[in-house]
Amino acid sequence: MLRIGLTGGIGSGKSTVGRRLAELGALVVDADAVAREVVAAGSPGLAAVVERFGPGILAADGSLDREALGEVVFADSRARADLEAITHPLVGRRTAELMAQAAPDQVVVYDVPLLVEKRMGDEFHLVVITDARPDVRLRRLVEQRGMQESDARARMEHQASDEQRLAAADVLLDNNGAQGDLDAQVQRLWDDRIVPFEANLRAREAARRGDGAEVVDYDESWPLHAERAIARICKVLGERAPEIEHIGSTAVPGLDGKDVIDLQVGVSDLRDADDPAFVDALAAIGFPRIEDVRMDHPKEQLPDPSLWVKRYHGASDPGRLVRLHVREMGGAGWQYALLYRDWLRHDRQARDDYLREKQRLAAQFGGTDGYAEAKEPWFSQIWPRMQEWARHSGWKP
């Protein structure tokens, strides 16, 4: 089941996106609605809240007086913790019940206002954030919701910053313009990314992109994409993956490269990577194993193939290609990947030389496979330069 976390600052249009995704066929679960439901009048949740905070938090009709409860917990961290201890398990159980109603091929969207603030991004295959400038959001809150400007500003200031939301976003929808513009963005997202992602996830297949060996300008968002992928992998693998590193060209600031994120997952023993639970955990979050890739190219200085064995996973998400190289920590392939990345980060001449080689080969080869094979002589030739740099710099993996 493809799970999407949807959020955005107050007044950004998040709810509008949620309604549009529901129209397209997604099951949308509204976290705010669930939170209200579990403390509705006559519910066990409300009874537990009254038992803890007293009848003063009830309205005349027996429902929860949210303003009164807010006054009690706003400035009291212990009271807030007690309230969360009551409501969070109820919300979690009810959310799970609602999500379980989804069809096997249905996309589930969880509309969560505080997704960024609570750092929930690693719970979803995709985080979609609706974005609008602060002045646009403020105007909407005042004109469309009738809020006082001071109240609207206060609400906005207590939410995540634009920078924090950008760092958390796999997809950023621009809602500064007309309604039709937002609708068109959601439609493209659904058609071009969500639908094929869901199909790939269900089939446990990696996405493929047909742009060959194109080398693009360095993108400052590459490390953020890597961080989000690493967080998701850490969540499901835990101690089975003691080390996860961003490697390859996209891990070298300022270096142009293919728009593909390479990650190295270090394991204590490569047999751990063959455990069905390990393989299934990665497939469930959108990183199925690619069985026909079982090793790196041996380098001339270390020609023994057994030193270069690995496992390989690709991303099911067609909108963000990620490759996972699972290697035994301490092995030749593991060390080479780290040394090569760090050497390029610290040696400007090395970066320039590699970029020229990539551009030459990209122009020559139209297919990714041919391009990758053609780079292998370069990787062998530069081994002495890398080793020399490691000795002089005192580098250790």
Binding residue positions for ATP: 11-16
Instruction: Please give the Cα distance from 144 to 10 (Å, whole number).
Output: 12
The C-alpha angle 98, 2, 290, rounded to 5 degrees, equals 150
DSSP-derived 3-state class of residue 301: coil
Instruction: Please give the Cα distance from 181 to 189 (Å, whole number).
Output: 12
In 179-279, which ranges are E strands? Answer: 243-247, 261-267
Instruction: Please give the Cα distance from 358 to 377 (Å, whole number).
Output: 12
Q: Which of 334, 354, 333 is nearest to 343 (CA)?
A: 354
Residues placed in the known binding site: 11-16
10 Å CB burial of residue 121 (0-12, 13-18, 19+) is buried
Instruction: Please give the Cα distance from 12 to 25 (Å, whole number).
Output: 22
- Helices then strands, counting H and E runs in the chain, come out as 17, 9
Are 215 and 49 spatial neighbours (Cβ–Cβ below 8 Å)? no
Instruction: Please give the Cα distance from 261 to 155 (Å, whole number).
Output: 36
Token digits of residue 342: 């760090």
Token digits of residue 234: 């850490």
Backbone angles phi, psi at 18, to 5 degrees: -60, -45
Q: Which of 308, 320, 316 is nearest to 290 (CA)?
A: 316
